[in-house]
Structure 1
Amino acid sequence: MNSPDLYFRLLRYVRPYTRIFALAIIGTAAAAATEPMIPALIQPLLDGSFVNKDPHSIRLIPLLLVAVFIVRGVADFIGKLAMEWIAHRVVMDLRNALFARLLILPTRYFDDHSAGNLLSRLTYDVNQVMTATTQALVTLVKDGLSVIGLLGWMLYLNWKLSLMAFLIAPGIALIMRLVSRRLRRLSRELQELMGDLNHVIDEVLQGHKVIKIFGGQDYERQRFHRVNNRVRQFNLKLAAVSEGSGPLVQLLAIMALGAVIYFAALQSAANQITVGGFVSLFGAMAMLLAPIKRLTKVNEHLQRGLAAAETIFALLDEPPEPDRGVRTIGRAQGRISFHNVSHRYRAEGTEVIHQFSLEVQPGETIALVGPSGSGKTTLMGLLPRFYEPEAGDIQVDGVPIRELRLAELRANIAYVSQDIVLFNDTVAANIAYGAGFQASEAELIRAAESAHAMEFIRELPQGLQTLIGENGARLSGGQRQRLAIARALLKNAPILILDEATSALDTHSERKVQQALDTLRQGRTAFIIAHRLSTIESADRIVVLDRGGMVEMGTHPELLAQGGLYASLYRLQSNDDHATTLHFQ
């Protein structure tokens, strides 16, 4: 997208605030209109007051100068304040739009982009856009009109001398063109570096315990220094390009000014220009230098803003999760069918799931086991359509899930992952997530009791209203897991996905939660992913996966009798548990 298209698209976000924008433009234009008035008043001031000794000019011109500066100050204040108001509203609207887009992007997008880079879009890039909508726009309007007004006054005074000022226009245009290209490229690279910087910071904040325990402080310090130093270098390059263009433009302007002064002196000697006219013309040319300098420097802010707008609009244009389904099923019975399902994460990658087929009846509990990397979690990620299968079909109650609306499908699924996600909110809010925040306190307590979470919630300072910190940092691993289970219990969905749902619990807590899960599974279809095979012995069927395909299926006794992969895994875990028990005796 070229610069004009980017800027006009950016200005669409200003459209809802047209009245305030008009006020800002009027104020800015009024302030700009006072610029040529100053040299215009200089001519009658000198010729009327000092040369002709006109008493009327002596009294009137000073009053007019004061009035001009009062109007200039008020108009400038109104214009800048109104523009700042618009800029912050545009920034808020862009952040809201970006955040709303993030909420509907497919899971694959988050797999391909780091959290640091996405945070950079919402913070650094949006702030760069603000400079393009405020400082750059104010400068373009105010200084642009000032230059036009001053040039107009110069042409009115002496068009022959004024034409010399126009000789520098091609040189300025060439400098601006070259500088714009360089600034845009450097701004893009700086934005990527800011994303890398945020990524490093995010990893350090998330992994501070690992860094401490493994003594990684020096390594992380050096890694941050490298990225931070690159940011410094690119900021310096941007400053060098921006600051270097100003002196070049001013040099051209001074050369033109010198030529005008020389020829004006010749005209004055020939009585073709008055003292007041010469000083007014000279003053107008001198006043041109400041707005021209600002106009060249605004290019840096403009190019930074446009480069940021590119990345922002690229994110806003990302297609959301495909949701072309139109069918509804209400509360599902829980019959799940997998027909020759295959999936790979990359087109060139190997298949993670290969032609998997399975018929699951309502209320049946299916345990998925197998070595790490066998595809258990990936398979369960296909059911709520976190990913779209590459081939095959998945059905709920005989309806292909691609024909169901995403909200309809996911309303029938409760999910507890092995990576517990809690929010920096109260205990009650985290549990209420399972019911769309519509549950009563009694329902929250009932769900928490079923997950055996109330026993520690009652001991918290504010009970259910206790803030738990970022991702439940103020809770133990087992407490966090029980809150996640309470959230799933509250949803009361007919389909359950439990991905290592009891992995962080001690033996005593696990037994309690396992009892709650056994009760919850009654009348519901449940998929349990488990590495600890002793927790799924009571499953209706156990599906053994290896390299993305089903290699065994049956009940716990049947699979042990077969002596295959499941029996091997079970014996290995039993030996490990026995060895651990002997070690602690």
Structure 2
Amino acid sequence: MSENRKSKVGSSAAVGNVGKKARNFKPTMKKLISYLSDYKLSLVIVLIFAVVSTIFSIVGPKILGHATTKLFKGVMAKISGTGNIDFNYIGKIILLLVVLYVISALFGYIQGWIMSGISMKVTYKFRKDISEKINRMPLGYFDRTNHGEVLSRVTNDVDTLSQTLNQSLGQIITSVTMVIGVLIMMISISWQMTLVALCVIPVSMGLITVIVKYSQKYFKQQQDYLGHLNGHVEEMYGGHIVMKAFNGEEKSVHKFNKMNGQLFGSAWKSQFLSGIMMPMINFVGNLGYVGICILGGWLAVKRTIEVGDIQAFIQYVRSFTQPISQIANISNILQQTAASAERIFEFLEEEEEIPEVSNPVKLQNVNGSVEFKNVHFGYNTDKIIINDFSASIKPGQRIAIVGPTGAGKTTIIKLLMRFYDINDGSILIDGHDIRDFTRGDLRSIFGMVLQDTWLYNGSIKENIRYGRLDATDEEVVQAAKAAHVDGFVRTLPAGYNMILNEEASNVSQGQKQLLTIARAILANPKILILDEATSSVDTRTELKIQKAMDNLMKDRTSFIIAHRLSTIRDADLILVMDHGDIVEQGNHEELLKKNGIYANLYNSQFEVA
């Protein structure tokens, strides 16, 4: 197991989960409904306003039918010379319709406005919960999960839910109300024509069921493949220099094209199946129109219904088939929503770090004694890589940890900082088990400089101040001087206010290392961890930094991981590790006399070819 353990589950490994439907559609939708429970009152208001808005629009055709009948009778009377068109009556009906439709539009607007607010709040809550969840997740999760997959859940899946809530939820309420209301109005006009109209429904529902059955799995595939594609893009962009250095462009493009093709295939199928639904239902609906027109004409000839009733009924049939089509379309959207919600809830239900203790230890003064007692650890429980590790470090000692690559040196540091919890044994600081501290309090004891530098998109001053956020500008500059970073910073165009890009590639690797050392100096920690802290600087700069480190390490317990053994000859105690065990320990002179692993490592660095 490499000490620089950075395993990522590639996109290809995750493809095994693709092709499944939303495995738990009903439980997922129940969780989503439960998630909306905080907005019960607002949702009730949305329901009422949507229903009222729909009712006003439903009444319109029936009233308009009276105007059509009055107009028809007036025209016939005028032709026969027995009367005139009653424009006064027709005008009143038109005015009434205008009022009804304005009220309907107003209620619809208010309903949409409230629903938009709910959807944005739910989206905010989802992203907030995901953000907080990320901070509670063990590092092991991110070791085995593609970073782009996590980002896709935060962005794409949450956006899908937001759009569904904002656009589809109100439509569901309106469509259901419309179907029920229109059905009542149709029956009130003619039960015979209503039966003809209802014959369309079983055919339409049958088509919807068949299409949904096949489309659901493709919507799930679409979301999964999108996550894999995002993961690949993020990975390639983050390591584009290495990818180019090893001529990996062709392989990267080939992999992207393969994933893009998979996404295209699933997206095309899901959208095609979704797209053919409306035309098929419209075709069935048109057949219904033909039957209604024939039957309506026959009933009008028999004087069973009025001409205006036929006009109103045809409007109602159109209003009846449209919400059914909308419900059919929404059913497809709900499949995609269920797939997205399932992925989000899967993430929110992932196993978290071991909870903090109820009564944590609070140390007023940290002495810096550290003790490892029979520590066992493995990144996977079935493969233990640290075996029965024990060591006792006194306050203020400088402890060097050396050994071949993969010996477990960096893993020991990760355990000390409690980035991972040990499988067995205990680690003590000043006699207290590190599990009795809160993680925040524990990590505040340490200052850390890693071989993999981390700087964020911000000014140089802000990056140094990250070590202690309340530090003044003067303290930042003093820390920079102590780390021998002040000189090169002042040569930059904006000095300490220069903005580093997202990957801090506008400064050299050695300069990045100096900035992280300045950050550690500013933090003024009780225990210092240096993991190859000078690995990216030249020999002359290393000597300067070593002097600064000597001052920094005074009266502090310091753990130094180094491959260049010349930098740790003055350590109080050197622990030599191999395959997770301490195989030798002592100071530099003692270990050379033993002529063991340490002596071989040391001598190999100074052999003359």
Which residue of the partner structure matches residue 386 of structure 1? Answer: 419
Which residue of the partner structure matches residue 334 of structure 1? Answer: 368
Rounded to whole Å, the distance in 1 between the matches of 2:262 and 2:322 is 33
Compute the RMSD of aligned alpha carbons: 2.2
Rounded to whole Å, the distance in 2 between the matches of 1:493 and 1:210 is 34
Aligned-residue offset at 1:537: 0.7
Aligned-residue offset at 1:174: 4.3
Which residue of the partner structure matches residue 572 of structure 2? Answer: 540
Which residue of the partner structure matches residue 430 of structure 2? Answer: 397
Change over 3 Å in CA distance of 1:140–1:390 after alignment to 2: same
Indicate conservation of the 8 Å contact 2:445/2:527, yes or no.
yes
Rounded to whole Å, the distance in 2 between the matches of 1:82 and 1:489 is 52
1:377 aligns with 2:410: yes
Aligned-residue offset at 1:110: 0.7
Rounded to whole Å, the distance in 2 between the matches of 1:20 and 1:506 is 64
Count of residue correspondences = 575
Which residue of the partner structure matches residue 119 of structure 1? Answer: 151
Q: Secondary structure at the match of 1:290?
A: helix
Q: Secondary structure at the match of 1:323?
A: coil
Which residue of the partner structure matches residue 582 of structure 1? Answer: none
Match of 2:72 among 50, 74, 85: 50
Indicate conservation of the 8 Å contact 2:72/2:307, yes or no.
no
* Alignment deviations for residues 92-118 of structure 1 (CA, whole Å, 9 cap, x no partner): 332222112112211111111111111
Rounded to whole Å, the distance in 2 between the matches of 1:204 and 1:82 is 42
Change over 3 Å in CA distance of 1:218–1:78 after alignment to 2: same
Indicate conservation of the 8 Å contact 1:324/1:405, yes or no.
yes
Rounded to whole Å, the distance in 2 between the matches of 1:178 and 1:559 is 76
Q: Secondary structure at the match of 1:134?
A: helix
Alignment of 1:5-404 (within 5 A): 5-11=27-33, 14=36, 21=43, 24-52=46-74, 53-325=85-357, 326-330=359-363, 331-348=365-382, 350-404=383-437
Rounded to whole Å, the distance in 2 between the matches of 1:563 and 1:263 is 106
Rounded to whole Å, the distance in 2 between the matches of 1:560 and 1:174 is 83
Specify which structure has the bigger relative contact order, considering alpha-carbon pairs within 8 angstroms and separated by 6 or more residues. 2
Rounded to whole Å, the distance in 2 between the matches of 1:305 and 1:113 is 22
Aligned-residue offset at 1:338: 0.9
- Structure 1 gaps, min length 5: 580-585
Aligned-residue offset at 1:252: 3.9
Indicate conservation of the 8 Å contact 1:128/1:308, yes or no.
yes
Once the two structures are overlaid, the 10-residue window that deviates more, 516-525 or 365-374, is 516-525
Indicate conservation of the 8 Å contact 1:44/1:57, yes or no.
no
Aligned-residue offset at 1:352: 1.6
1:551 aligns with 2:583: yes
Which residue of the partner structure matches residue 583 of structure 1? Answer: none
Q: Which residue identity is paired with 2:237? A: L
Rounded to whole Å, the distance in 2 between the matches of 1:381 and 1:76 is 57
Match of 2:518 among 477, 486, 496: 486
Aligned-residue offset at 1:530: 0.8
Q: Secondary structure at the match of 2:98?
A: helix
Change over 3 Å in CA distance of 1:29–1:462 after alignment to 2: farther
Rounded to whole Å, the distance in 1 between the matches of 2:177 and 2:543 is 77
Match of 2:556 among 510, 524, 533: 524
Once the two structures are overlaid, the 10-residue window that deviates more, 72-81 or 138-147, is 72-81
Which residue of the partner structure matches residue 453 of structure 2? Answer: 420
Q: Secondary structure at the match of 1:62?
A: helix
Q: Which residue identity is paired with 1:343? A: F
Rounded to whole Å, the distance in 1 between the matches of 2:436 and 2:476 is 33
Rounded to whole Å, the distance in 1 between the matches of 2:257 and 2:57 is 47
* Alignment deviations for residues 153-197 of structure 1 (CA, whole Å, 9 cap, x no partner): 112212343244334444444444444444432222212211111
Q: Which residue identity is paired with 1:48? A: K
Rounded to whole Å, the distance in 2 between the matches of 1:428 and 1:12 is 45
Change over 3 Å in CA distance of 1:83–1:525 after alignment to 2: same
Rounded to whole Å, the distance in 2 between the matches of 1:248 and 1:139 is 21
Rounded to whole Å, the distance in 1 between the matches of 2:428 and 2:209 is 58
Rounded to whole Å, the distance in 2 between the matches of 1:14 and 1:508 is 62
TM-score (normalised: structure 1): 0.92
Rounded to whole Å, the distance in 1 between the matches of 2:180 and 2:596 is 87
Change over 3 Å in CA distance of 1:467–1:23 after alignment to 2: farther
Aligned-residue offset at 1:461: 2.7
- Structure 2 gaps, min length 5: 1-22, 75-84
Q: Secondary structure at the match of 2:366?
A: coil
Q: Which residue identity is paired with 1:67? A: V
Rounded to whole Å, the distance in 2 between the matches of 1:477 and 1:223 is 30
Q: Which residue identity is paired with 2:366? A: A
Q: Which residue identity is paired with 2:463? A: N
Aligned-residue offset at 1:22: 5.5
Indicate conservation of the 8 Å contact 1:104/1:320, yes or no.
yes
* Alignment deviations for residues 67-122 of structure 1 (CA, whole Å, 9 cap, x no partner): 34433444444433443333233223322221121122111111111111111111
TM-score (normalised: structure 2): 0.89
Rounded to whole Å, the distance in 2 between the matches of 1:111 and 1:201 is 18
Q: Secondary structure at the match of 1:319?
A: coil
Which residue of the partner structure matches residue 4 of structure 2? Answer: none
Which residue of the partner structure matches residue 433 of structure 1? Answer: 466
Rounded to whole Å, the distance in 2 between the matches of 1:60 and 1:486 is 82
Indicate conservation of the 8 Å contact 2:57/2:101, yes or no.
no
